[in-house]
Amino acid sequence: MSYTGKIVNGGWSLLQGMWLTLKYITNPKTIITQEYPDNRETLKMFDRFRGKLIFVFDEESGKPKCIACSMCNTACPNASIELEGEKDPETKKRYPTKYVWHSGQCTYCGLCVEACPTDALKFTGKYENAVYDRAELDIDLLNSKDKG
């Protein structure tokens, strides 16, 4: 490119940049800052956000979809899932009797949700997971207040 061509080209690209930032400063709608915690009532996380883990319950029977197959446990890279299951003698199906999610160890990688054959595990958009006592981090999903 010629000497003058470079100068004109450079000047033009600078003007383009300034035009873009001028649009930003003149239009308040472009602000993307979330004023947390002022907007905690209206702030909604996007669909794929990996927040608190919950159990999915069957709508008709009200029982968990989980079949206690332990695949989530196997998939978990840092053993943050602890579960026990029993076989129902009538229906010959397994169901969980204990399901504890040690969220303090969890890296929120999502491998358990991917591994689950019955889609019984789900991430919610709940992100305020700080607690005062470490024991509160071990969450019993079977009897958890949050249900999906």
Partner 1 sequence: MKQIFNYFYHTEDLTRDLDGLLLSVARALGLPDWTAVAVEVLGVILMICVFLALMALFLVYLERKAAGRFQLRYGPNRVGPFGLLQTIADAMKLFFKEDIVPTNADKLIYKAAPAFCFGSAFIALAFVPWSINVAPVDLNVGILFYTAITSLAVLGLLMAGWGSNSKWSLLGGIRAGAQIISYELSASLAILVIIIFSGTLQISEIIESQREGWWIWRGHLPAVIAFILFIIAGTAETNRTPFDLPEAEAELTAGYHTEYSGIRFAMFFLSEFLFMFLVCAIAATLFLGGWMPFYIGGLDGFNAVMSWIPPVVWFFGKTGFLIFVLMWFRWTFPRMRIDQLMRLEWKVLMPIGLLNLLLASIVALSRLYIFSA
Q: Which residues bind partner 1 (CB under 8 A)?
A: 7, 14, 17-18, 20-22, 24-25, 28, 30-33, 35
- Smaller CB distance to partner 1: residue 29 or 134? 29
Tell me how far, at minimum, the Cβ of 23 lies from partner 1, in Å. 10
Tell me how far, at minimum, the Cβ of 128 lies from partner 1, in Å. 21
CA-wise closest residue to 80 among 118, 128, 137? 137
- Smaller CB distance to partner 1: residue 30 or 61? 30
**C-alpha distances in Å from residue 51, one per residue of 15, 17, 148:** 42, 37, 13
Question: Which amino acid is it at 145?
Answer: K
- Smaller CB distance to partner 1: residue 17 or 117? 17
First-to-final CA distance of the chain: 62
Which tokens in the block code for residue 130?
């700080």
Which tokens in the block code for residue 29?
């709608």
Tell me how far, at minimum, the Cβ of 133 lies from partner 1, in Å. 31
For residue 1, the tally of other CB atoms under 10 A from its CB is 8
Tell me how far, at minimum, the Cβ of 32 lies from partner 1, in Å. 5
Residue 95: partners with Cβ closer than 8 Å, 6 or more residues away:
63, 64, 66, 67, 68, 85, 86, 88
Tell me how far, at minimum, the Cβ of 30 lies from partner 1, in Å. 5
- Smaller CB distance to partner 1: residue 35 or 90? 35
- Smaller CB distance to partner 1: residue 13 or 78? 13
